[in-house]
C-alpha cells in the first residue's frame, strides 16, 4: 500500500504549495515523485477547516479509480471530520450531475434522445431529492439514469460509418495517406472524433470544425480548413450522433453519451448552489481535456467564490492532450503558480533513468515539445531534480528470461513488499498473468477496490498504463516496455512481433510514448525491472541510459 508521509515530513516547497492562499485559484506543477497527491490530501483538509465560523466544502477530483481510492482512504484517516471533503473521479462526478440536476431552459446542440432525457430530468430530480425509487414492480425504470456506451460498441459504430463513407466517397484523398493502411486511417478518424469531443465541437455545427485550428497531426493531415477531407470526417461525426440517438439497452438504462462527451451536457444543467463547493482540487490535471475544464467552470458558484487548486505535470501527459492555461480561463502568475522540482519518491538511479527518457525525447523529437502549448508559459514544463538517496540500478531483461522475472517478484513477496506490474496491452497482461499463475504468485488486477482492510501481506498488482497515475510501489516491473500501446494505429511503426519501431515514431507519437515510459519508471520507490520483447530494444536502452541500467544477459 502507498504510505502517506506526515505533514511534518513535508519539504519547504511542498508546504509552500500546501499553504497557498485560499482566496484565489492555485496551480501546482511538479515532477513525478514530487508529492503532488500528498499536497492535494493535506490541502483539502486545511481548506475544509479554513473558516472558524462555518465549515467549507471541498471536492477532490481524480482521473482514475486507483488514485481516487488512495486519496479517499487517506482523507478519511487524516481528518477528524470528513463530511466536508468529497472525493470522486472526474467522470463519475459529472455523470452524477447529469443524472440528478434539472436542465436549464436553453437546450441547443442536442440530438433528440439527449433533449428528451434532459427534459425528463425534473422527475428524476424529484426522485433523487425525496429518495424515491423510480422502479415499478417489474424492475422497469420510468426515469432511467444515463450511463456511457461501451467503448467497443462505440468503435464498432464508428467503423461501420467509416466503411459506409469509403463506399460513398472512394476518391476522397483521406483514403490515400502515405504509409497508412485502411486500418490506420480508420483508427486515425476515431482519434479525430475524440479530439472533436475533447474540444467541444458541436456535432451539428459543421463550420465550427471546418474552421477549427488543428495542429499536432503530422501523420494524418486533413488538408486546408473547409476542405473535402474535413467535411468527410465531420459527416461521420454527425452521423455517429444521429445513429447513437437510437441506441438503447434493456431495463430502461439510457446510453445518451460516451465516455468522451458526458462533460458537454453539463452546461445544460441548472446545478443548485447548495450542491456547489467552496474549493475544488483536481489531481493529474494534465490529463483533462478542454471540455472537462469547461464542465469544471460550470460548478463554480455564481458569486465566484469557488476556488480551484490544480495539480499536475505535463511530462506525464500519457494521453497526448495539449493544454493551455489561457484557454482554460486561468491566469498563471508567480503568486498562484508553484513548482515542485525535486523527486522525493524514487532513488537516484530510478529518477535519473526517468530523466534520461525525457531528455532523449526532447533531443530527438523537439518540435512538439517546443510547440506553442508548451511555450505559452514558462511554468508548464519542469526539469526534474534528481533524488539524493541511492539504491539498486534498474534491471533490463528480455521477456524470455521468465525465471528472472519470477525471482524479482518472489523477492518482494518474501520481503513483504508490494509490487506493481505495468502492462501496455491485453496480450502482455495475459502473458504475465499466466506466468504468475504457473508460479503460484497471487495477484490483483484492480487497485483500491478491496484494500480498505489491509491484512499486512504483500500484494502484486497487474495494471494498465491508464490506472497507475499517482501511485507508487517499492517494486515495479514494466512489462513489456517496447510493446504496442493500445492507442497506436499506424502499422508502419510496428515490427512483426507488434513491438514499436522507435525510428518510425513521429513527434506526436514519440511524446506520448516516452511520457508513458517516464510515468511507468517513476512509479518505483526502490526496485525496478524493465522487460523488453524485441532484442533490438536493448540498443535503444543503452543509448538512452547506458550508465543507468544493469542488463541481464
Residues at the annotated binding site for ATP?
A: 30-37
DSSP code of 392?
A: P
CA dist 127 and 136 (Å) reads 13
Nearest to 241 by CA among 255, 227, 231, 225: 255
Expressed in angstroms, the distance from the first to the final Cα of the chain is 32
Longest dimension (CA), the chain: 70
Query: Please, what's the b/e burial string for 483-505 (b: 16 or more CB within 10 A of its CB; e: otherwise)?
Result: bbeebbbbeebbeeebbbebeeb
Residues contacting residue 92 through CB under 8 Å, at least 6 positions apart: none
Residues contacting residue 274 through CB under 8 Å, at least 6 positions apart: none
Query: Please, what's the b/e burial string for 188-224 (b: 16 or more CB within 10 A of its CB; e: otherwise)?
Result: bbbebbbbbbbbbbbbeebebbbeeeeebeebbebee
CA dist 59 and 279 (Å) reads 6
How many CA atoms lie less than 13 Å away from 86 in the CB half-sphere? 14
CA dist 129 and 273 (Å) reads 15
* Binding-site positions: 30-37
User: If residue 524 lies in a helix (H) or strand (E), which one and from where to where?
Assistant: strand 524-532
Residue whose entry in the numeric block shows the C-alpha cell 491566469: 331
CA dist 521 and 475 (Å) reads 10
- Per residue, what are the HEC states of 114-160? HHHHHHCHHHHHHHHHCCCCCECCCCCECCCCEEECCHHHHHHHHHH
| Helix, coil or strand: residue 463 | strand
- Are the C-beta atoms of residues 146 and 153 closer than 8 Å to each other? no
- Are the C-beta atoms of residues 90 and 61 closer than 8 Å to each other? yes
Sign of CA dihedral 403, 485, 311, 80: negative
Name the grid cell of 155. Answer: 468503435
Name the grid cell of 524. Answer: 518505483
CA dist 428 and 551 (Å) reads 21
CA dist 281 and 78 (Å) reads 17
CA dist 455 and 447 (Å) reads 15
Sign of CA dihedral 302, 303, 305, 310: positive
Amino acid at each position: 500500500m502507498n504510505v502517506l508521509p506526515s505533514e511534518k515530513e513535508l519539504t519547504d516547497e511542498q508546504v509552500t504549495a500546501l499553504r497557498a492562499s485560499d482566496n484565489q485559484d492555485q496551480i501546482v506543477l511538479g515532477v513525478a515523485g514530487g508529492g503532488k497527491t500528498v499536497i492535494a490530501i493535506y490541502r483539502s483538509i486545511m481548506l475544509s477547516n479554513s473558516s472558524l465560523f462555518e465549515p467549507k466544502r471541498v471536492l477532490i477530483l481524480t482521473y482514475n479509480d486507483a488514485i481516487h481510492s488512495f486519496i479517499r482512504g487517506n482523507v478519511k484517516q487524516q481528518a477528524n471530520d470528513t463530511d466536508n471533503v468529497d472525493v470522486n473521479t472526474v467522470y463519475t462526478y459529472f455523470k452524477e450531475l447529469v443524472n440528478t440536476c434539472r436542465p436549464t431552459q436553453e437546450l441547443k446542440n442536442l440530438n433528440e434522445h439527449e433533449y428528451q432525457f434532459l427534459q425528463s430530468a425534473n422527475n428524476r430530480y424529484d426522485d433523487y431529492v425525496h429518495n424515491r425509487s423510480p422502479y415499478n414492480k417489474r424492475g422497469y425504470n420510468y426515469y432511467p439514469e444515463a450511463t456511457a456506451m461501451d467503448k467497443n460498441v462505440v468503435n464498432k459504430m464508428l467503423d461501420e460509418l467509416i466503411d459506409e463513407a469509403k463506399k460513398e466517397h472512394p476518391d476522397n484523398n483521406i483514403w490515400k495517406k502515405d504509409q497508412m493502411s485502411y486500418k490506420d486511417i480508420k483508427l486515425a478518424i476515431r482519434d479525430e472524433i475524440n479530439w472533436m469531443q475533447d474540444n467541444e465541437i458541436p456535432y451539428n455545427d459543421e463550420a465550427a470544425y471546418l474552421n477549427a485550428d488543428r495542429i499536432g497531426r503530422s501523420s494524418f493531415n486533413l488538408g486546408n480548413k473547409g476542405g473535402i477531407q474535413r467535411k468527410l470526417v465531420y459527416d461521420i461525426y454527425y452521423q455517429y450522433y444521429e445513429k447513437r440517438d437510437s441506441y438503447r439497452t434493456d431495463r430502461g438504462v439510457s446510453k445518451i453519451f460516451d465516455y468522451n462527451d458526458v462533460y458537454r451536457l453539463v452546461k445544460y444543467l441548472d446545478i443548485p448552489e447548495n450542491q456547489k463547493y467552496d474549493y475544488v482540487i483536481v489531481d493529474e490535471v494534465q490529463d483533462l481535456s478542454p471540455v472537462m475544464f469547461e464542465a469544471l467552470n460550470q460548478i463554480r458558484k455564481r458569486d465566484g467564490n469557488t476556488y480551484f487548486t490544480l495539480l499536475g505535470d505535463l511530462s506525464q501527459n500519457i494521453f497526448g492532450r495539449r493544454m493551455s492555461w489561457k484557454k482554460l480561463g486561468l491566469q498563471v502568475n508567480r503568486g498562484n503558480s508553484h513548482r515542485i522540482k525535486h523527486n522525493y519518491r524514487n532513488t537516484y538511479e530510478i529518477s535519473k533513468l526517468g530523466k534520461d527518457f525525457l531528455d532523449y525525447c526532447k533531443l530527438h523529437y523537439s518540435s512538439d515539445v517546443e510547440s506553442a502549448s508548451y511555450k505559452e508559459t514558462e511554468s508548464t514544463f519542469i526539469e526534474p531534480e534528481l533524488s539524493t538517496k541511492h539504491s539498486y540500478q534498474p534491471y533490463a531483461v528480455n521477456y524470455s528470461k521468465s525465471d528472472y522475472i519470477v525471482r524479482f517478484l518472489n523477492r518482494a513477496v518474501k520481503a513483504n513488499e508490494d509490487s506493481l506490474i505495468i502492462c501496455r496491452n491485453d496480450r502482455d497482461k495475459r502473458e504475465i498473468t499466466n506466468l504468475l499463475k504457473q508460479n503460484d504468485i497471487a495477484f490483483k488486477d484492480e487497485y483500491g477496490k478491496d484494500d480498505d482492510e489491509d491484512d499486512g501481506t504483500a500484494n502484486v498488482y497487474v495494471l494498465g498504463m491508464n490506472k497507475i497515475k499517482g501511485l507508487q510501489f517499492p517494486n515495479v516491473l514494466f512489462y513489456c516496455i517496447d510493446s504496442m500501446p493500445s492507442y497506436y494505429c499506424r502499422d508502419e511503426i510496428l515490427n512483426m512481433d507488434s513491438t514499436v519501431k522507435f525510428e518510425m515514431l513521429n513527434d506526436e507519437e514519440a511524446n506520448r510514448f516516452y511520457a508513458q515510459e517516464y510515468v511507468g519508471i517513476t512509479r518505483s520507490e526502490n526496485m525496478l525491472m524493465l522487460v523488453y520483447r524485441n532484442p533490438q530494444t536493448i540498443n535503444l536502452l543503452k543509448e538512452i541510459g547506458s550508465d543507468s541500467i544493469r542488463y541481464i544477459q
